[in-house]
Structure 1
Amino acid sequence: MLSEQSAATVRATLPAVGAALAEITERFYAGLFAARPELLRDLFNRGNQAAGTQRQALAGSIAAFATYLLDHPEERPDAMLGRIAHKHASLGVTAEQYALVHEHLFAAIADVLGEAVTPEVAAAWDEVYWLMANALIAIEKRLYAERGGSEWREWEVVGRVEETADVATFRLRPADGRPAPGFRAGQYVSVQVELADGARQTRQYSLSAAPGSPVRQISVKRVRGGAAAPDGEVSNHLHARVRVGDRLRLSAAYGDLVLAGTEAPLLLASAGIGVTPMVAMLGELADAGHEGRVIVVHGDRSPAEHALRADHEVYAEKLADASAHFWYETDADGSHGTGLVDLTDLAVPRGTRAYLCGPLPFMRAVRAQLIEQGVAPADIHYEVFGPDLWLGQEG
């Protein structure tokens, strides 16, 4: 809970701080990496830094947290904090690193806002920061304890499948012979690789097989760059260099987009490579003999680019009361929709619990359509690959 004095100061200064957050976070990262260049090399995603998306995500999370404290003084944004904490834990973020972030973030705030940062303003925003940081530290400590620590393990590639021209599935077993730890459908692992320049870069990939599978499985889309961003370093490395017999370093499984134990109707909506956690969920439901209503929704550029399509269809067919609805922008046949996903004519049962994964425009559009059909916002859950740029824009 934010103190009354700090709340008043934050409320008065939030417009100015919010307007300057983009510049503040840019200077923050510049100062942090100048002081600790190994963090950019071995912890932070260099592609997201080059594209500026990590700065946007940090700015959005700070603004969203401060706004929530003001609007809900007796509550805490647990959903937002949980998503951030799972991402941090999968990277092995430590409690000590929050002090380092604080040092460089507040130096950037003072640098950008200058004399406007009075002792009262600094104290108020310091309180906001440590409320958020300490909440994250506590959640991450619990996550580490549940997994027996933050150990990285080596896994051997025992299978590789070319799903599409740009998606490859890697099947993995622990290289040390110890049992594979459990996970829940919808979760992801961090994969760390050493690149040609010696950097150890890490990316998160959803586990695309159900928890009962004898192997772990990730399905990786090759990220092709453009004017705004470079090619994906890790995805292209995995596609070009990793074969059966090679080893990868993996974290434990993290992520809070997991199926709740409920008999409510389910809707699993994905687009593009967002299919990966949804296929794992479908596999889990099929293995459990789930009998409730399940609506499967997916959008892709074409049938040929629909990764894991066979699994998508087979698992849906195994369920007692499921229907699958696919939309393709090109080359759609008569049994599937053409264009973008459109739920207008899809009867969504009352009380449906929805899970979304895909590009942000897709998830925003589907969320809006579901709310129009009467699905409660609290029953719509999502996963974002990469920096969560939705944090400051949730309704």
Structure 2
Amino acid sequence: MLSEKSAATVRATLPAVGAAIGDITELFYEKLFAAHPALLRDLFNRGNQNAGLQKQALAGSIAAFAAHLLEQPGTRPDVMLGRIAHKHASLGVTRDQYAVVHRHLFEAIAEILGEAVTPEVAEAWDEVYWLMANALITIEERLYAEHRILAGDVWREWTVAARIEETADCTTFHLVPADGAPVPAFKPGQYVSVRTELPDGARQIRQYSLIHSPGSPVRAITVKRVHGTGGPDGEVSAHLHAHVRTGDTLHVSAPYGDLVLRDSAAPVLLASAGIGCTPMLSMLEHLAETGHRAPVTVVHADRSPADHALRADHRALTLKLPDASARFWYESGAEAGDETGLVDLTGTSVAPGTQAYLCGPLPFMREVRAQLIAKGVPAADIHYEVFGPDLWLATA
């Protein structure tokens, strides 16, 4: 909870800070990477930095956290904090790195806002920062403890046991621990980070969902090759597709992610687009294995059936459930039983009490969420996962 004095100052200055937050975060990253170039090389996603996506996500989270402290004093935005903390844990972020971020962030604030940053203003926003940072540190250290690993020590060598070409742009990699030790437990819908050394020596990290259920003996990820739109192709996805073969070794993190299937008898709706189907496959397999009896609605959108990774598994797992249906929408090439165009839930029955899980591009998830709310699904029962920086708040 913000102190009364700081709350008044933050309330008075939030409009000015909010208006300048984009410039502040841009300067922050310039300062951070100038002082610590290894962070850009080995921790931060260089593609997201070049596109400005990480800047937008950081700006949105800071503004949202400050606004929450003012509007709902005594509470925390735990959903937002949990999502960030899981991503940080999958990257191996540690407590000491928050002090580094603090130094460069507040240098940027002072430089952008100038004389407006009085000692009182600096003290108030310092309190906001450390409330957010300490909350994240606490969650992250709990996540590390759950896997019985030291803070930041998330990496382990895994061997590629098999490589399967799913579509022209999607490849599945089956993984086994290189040391033969037991595989770590995970929850349906979670992801792992993969750290790859690129030709220039950078060790870039990306997240990929585990596509099977926790009860499956197989641990696998499906990687979609990212084709740049007006920019370079995805560094890590392109490298994995071009160079990683059966028998090769990858550095893989412990599993994390807050978009997980809740253990309940509630009806479920799983909506995905593109490679967003991967966490849904894990959830579907788990539902089938545990004998889920309530209605399950599967919704997926893609460019075409040929582009729909794991399409046969998507449908087969749905058919294993006693009360489940699947509707697939394609931009082109729809086959018998499929639909053409954008997802339209008008004719889809959504059972009362449905828990909805969304994964895909942000515009897709916004549209599906709006349709579900119009059908009476409470916002609290709609859960989502973003591949990459979470821009939901930044673009709200």
Pairwise TM-score range, normalised by the shorter structure: over 0.9
- Which aligned pairs between 1:235-384 and structure 2 lie closer than 5 A? 235-384=237-386
Match of 1:192 among 195, 206, 211: 195
- Deviations 1:57-89 (CA, angstroms, capped at 9, x unpaired): 000000010011111002110000000000000
Q: Give 1:349 deviation, angstroms.
A: 1.1
Number of residue equivalences? 393
TM-align CA RMSD: 0.9
Q: Give 1:392 deviation, angstroms.
A: 4.3
Q: Does 1:176 align with 2:186?
A: no
Q: Quote the residue 1:223 is aligned against.
A: 226
* Bigger mean CA deviation after superposition, 166-175 or 146-155: 146-155
Q: Match of 1:354, SS?
A: strand
* Bigger mean CA deviation after superposition, 206-215 or 77-86: 206-215
- Which aligned pairs between 1:17-166 and structure 2 lie closer than 5 A? 17-149=17-149, 150-166=153-169
Question: Is the 1:192–1:200 contact (alpha carbons within 8 Å) kept by the matching residues of 2?
Answer: yes
Q: Give 1:151 deviation, angstroms.
A: 3.2
Q: Give 1:393 deviation, angstroms.
A: 5.5
CA distance in 1, matches of 2:338, 2:5: 58
Q: Give 1:288 deviation, angstroms.
A: 1.2
Q: Give 1:321 deviation, angstroms.
A: 0.5
CA distance in 2, matches of 1:206, 1:220: 9
CA distance in 1, matches of 2:301, 2:147: 34
Q: Residue type of the partner of 1:345?
A: G
CA distance in 1, matches of 2:175, 2:84: 26
CA distance in 2, matches of 1:261, 1:218: 23
Structure 2 unmatched ranges of 5 or more: none
CA distance in 1, matches of 2:144, 2:376: 38
CA distance in 1, matches of 2:148, 2:63: 33
- Deviations 1:15-36 (CA, angstroms, capped at 9, x unpaired): 1111111110010000000000
Q: Match of 2:167, SS?
A: coil
Question: Is the 1:80–1:391 contact (alpha carbons within 8 Å) kept by the matching residues of 2?
Answer: no
Structure 1 unmatched ranges of 5 or more: none
Q: Residue type of the partner of 1:140?
A: E
Q: Match of 1:284, SS?
A: helix
CA distance in 2, matches of 1:391, 1:60: 5
Q: Give 1:336 deviation, angstroms.
A: 1.2
Match of 1:206 among 182, 206, 209: 209
- Deviations 1:23-61 (CA, angstroms, capped at 9, x unpaired): 100100000000000110000000000000000000000
Q: Give 1:263 deviation, angstroms.
A: 1.2
Q: Residue type of the partner of 1:157?
A: V
- Deviations 1:293-342 (CA, angstroms, capped at 9, x unpaired): 10000000100000010110110000010000110011112411110111
- Deviations 1:157-200 (CA, angstroms, capped at 9, x unpaired): 00111111000000000000101111111000000010000010
* Segments ≥4 residues shifted beyond 6 Å: none
Q: Match of 1:155, SS?
A: strand
Q: Residue type of the partner of 2:348?
A: L
Question: Is the 2:329–2:341 contact (alpha carbons within 8 Å) kept by the matching residues of 1?
Answer: yes
Q: Residue type of the partner of 2:239?
A: H
Q: Residue type of the partner of 2:3?
A: S
Q: Residue type of the partner of 1:208?
A: I
Question: Is the 1:297–1:325 contact (alpha carbons within 8 Å) kept by the matching residues of 2?
Answer: yes
